[in-house]
Structure 1
């Protein structure tokens, strides 16, 4: 297999992310995503460009495990693929202001991943804040518990919702009960993607 030239890589990822935006990729089922990988292999703007470098199996693996694995993080403005994301969610500053208030700010250099998190600060007091979709609640809770035992302030989990991604009332009740039991604050926040202009 030949090395994939950077210009080709950029062209293909840009096209994949353009189409993923149009498809509302994060709202697709696993079956729909699997079908789309096949369509991309057959698409002259994707598979046609990659064919000199990959066979169909390697192409499908590369599409799934390289650009599309990073798509959700890129929409958060994080990771090496963020530059390709045409639509992004407002940054951590927006989340902190909407949940904790304008007096709080994001500590410089504190934004991280797995799960997406930061430190928020007001008048010298810092809080750990992590956020993600409802399906990531377990990971968010574990991260927050780890901070709850090492920081004097109560951690905050922000469950992020958007059109098409919601939490049922029963799900919310359970999550709130778990958070309260663990000494964690929890908030629910609806967000909208914004077109990102370079």
Structure 2
């Protein structure tokens, strides 16, 4: 059954307030199911949805739609972006941290699934940069591989992390080895959302 728009928007706003408060991007995958269960049982969230969905359907919607859209909302992309009070600093922060402050994002090249853009250097060089957290490495690697197969000369993967703490050496070695296999540069970049309104 289709949710009335006002019910859907109220549920999204409530869920994203919880995600914002918990810093969802830092919640381990193994702990996310418990958060979904709490939300389904929360009368303020589940109550308005129950006339339209079962508990199981609510949980599936949370996991496969609401939570999956949240990272894009933090990037300011998509219709759910208005429901979060947090934002990542944006592609320029990725490009400057990975390639240097003299590099710029090429207008109109920002795309998603996974996040990527083209960057241009001071000498006119261009690089397609894909970025996301370590848990998304499989998707980043696949997308970068496809770009190389399709003829993109220079490609880079930026693994984002939420703090100054570097990735564990073993994990970073794996990233570098996988990127070397397909001929792309790899970077580790601190990239954390911040509150943009109250």
Q: TM-score range by the shorter chain?
A: 0.7 to 0.9
Q: For the structure 1 residues 141 and 29, does the alpha-carbon distance in structure 2 shift closer, same or farther, using more than 3 Å as the test? A: closer
Aligned to 2:26: 27
Q: May I ask how many residue pairs the two structures share in their alignment?
A: 196
Aligned-residue offset at 1:162 = 0.9
What pairs with 1:89-108 in structure 2 (closer than 5 Å)? 89-108=88-107
Range 159-168 or range 56-65, more displaced: 159-168
TM-score, length-normalised on structure 2? 0.87
The change in CA–CA distance for 1:41 and 1:135 in structure 2 (over 3 A counts) is closer
Deviation (angstroms), 1:186 = 0.8
Within a 5 Å distance, the mapping from 1:121-160 to structure 2 comes to 121-122=120-121, 123-149=123-149, 150-152=151-153, 154-160=154-160
Looking at structure 1, the residues matched to 27 and 97 of structure 2 have their Cα atoms a distance apart, in angstroms, of 28
Conserved? CA contact 1:130–1:140, under 8 Å: yes
Q: CA deviation at 1:38?
A: 2.0
Which shows bigger deviation, 35-44 or 12-21?
Answer: 35-44
User: For structure 1, which segment, 82-91 or 59-68, has the greater mean C-alpha deviation from structure 2 after superposition?
Assistant: 59-68
Cα separation, 2, equivalents of 1:189 and 1:126: 19
> 3-state SS of the aligned residue for 1:54?
coil
- Gaps spanning 5+ residues in structure 2: where? none
SS in 2 for 1:80: coil
Map residues 159-178 of structure 1 onto 2, 5 A cutoff.
Answer: 159-163=159-163, 167-178=167-178
**Structure 1 segments (4+ residues) deviating >3 Å:** 163-166
8 Å Cα contact 1:85-1:196 kept in structure 2: no
Aligned counterpart, 1:86: 85
Q: Classify 1:173/1:44 alpha carbon distance in 2 versus 1 (closer, same or farther; 3 Å).
A: same
Which stretch shows the higher mean deviation, 164-173 or 186-195?
Answer: 164-173
Which range moves more in the overlay, 134-143 or 91-100?
134-143
Q: 1:141 to 1:42 in 2, by over 3 A?
A: closer
Q: Distance in 2 between matches of 1:113 and 1:58?
A: 27
TM-score (norm 1): 0.87
d(CA) in 2 for partners of 1:172 and 1:60? 34
